[in-house]
A and B are shown apart, each in its own frame.
Chain A
Amino acid sequence: GAGVSQSPSNKVTEKGKDVELRCDPISGHTALYWYRQSLGQGLEFLIYFQGNSAPDKSGLPSDRFSAERTGGSVSTLTIQRTQQEDSAVYLCASSLTGTGATETQYFGPGTRLLVL
């Protein structure tokens, strides 16, 4: 596709349920990033992938959060036993190599998660 796509665009779930958020990066981009944008907050880094490996998971807020990437392409962010404080917009971005300081990150439209 032409850009980064994410699904679903909106997700409403009940507290305690598990959710999966999907990201399709731009074809050929080896670097993939997940961010969280809470109401009134800036972007909070969650995790970085280089190919299928995640050298930086430092932003994951708890062990309820996990992510994987398969085939160097699609990534899934999973939140287990969701809590109300997990409500936020989850943004995915990709870039060509991830190793250039001036390299542009291209963002998807985000998944808006609401935990009731």
Chain B
Amino acid sequence: AQSVTQLGSHVSVSEGALVLLRCNYSSSVPPYLFWYVQYPNQGLQLLLKYTSAATLVKGINGFEAEFKKSETSFHLTKPSAHMSDAAEYFCAVSVLPFSGGYNKLIFGAGTRLAVHP
């Protein structure tokens, strides 16, 4: 079965510091992976997605993620944190091959990012 694990339910960084949010996946087939962000009292917004076209994926707001098959990881990074990055971040994997033909997403538990001055 496909699943994702996000290490660290809370991450705190200083403004200007590197952001690293971890996501590891488990999949019996080549995975399609997503990172979503949820700002307070809002729905989820897509940051980026891995579609197998390139292992380094660039997303919105300066975020990027690298797919590493050998490590079964898809960690999210940003070189310099901004106060506006404070939010909850979710990693997800598509289970389309096993869902009966539709794009069902399995989400991790989320990582809450705090950015302090």
**A-contacting residues, B23-49, CB 8 Å:** 32, 34, 36, 41-46, 49
Chain A hits for B42, CB < 8 A: 109-110
Q: CB-CB < 8 A to A113: which residues of B?
A: none
Chain A's interface size range is 20 to 34
Q: For the complex, what is the distance from the CA of A42 to the CA of B4, rounded to whole Å?
A: 11
Contacts of A95 in B (CB 8 A): 103
Contacts of A50 in B (CB 8 A): 102
Are A101 and B100 in touch, CB under 8 angstroms?
no
From B97, B101, B103, contact of A103 by CB (8 A):
B103
Which one, B46, B51, B100, B109, contacts A55 given CB within 8 A?
B100
Answer yes or no: A104 CB below 8 A from chain B CBs. Answer: yes
Q: How many residues of B contact A (CB 8 A)?
A: 28
C-alpha gap A85/B42 in the complex (Å)? 22
Produce 1/0 per residue, B81-117, CB < 8 A to A. Answer: 0000000001000101101111111111110000000
Q: Are A101 and B96 in contact (CB under 8 A)?
A: yes
Q: Is the CB of B104 within 8 A of A45?
A: yes
Query: Least Cβ distance of A35 to chain B in Å?
Result: 8
B90 & A109 in contact (Cβ 8 Å cutoff): no
CB nearest neighbor in B for A102: B51
Binding site for A on B (CB under 8 A): 9, 32, 34, 36, 41-46, 49, 51, 90, 94, 96-97, 99-110
Q: List 6 extra interface pairs beyond A99-B101, A99-B102, A104-B49, CB under 8 A.
A: A4-B43, A45-B106, A55-B100, A56-B102, A93-B44, A104-B34
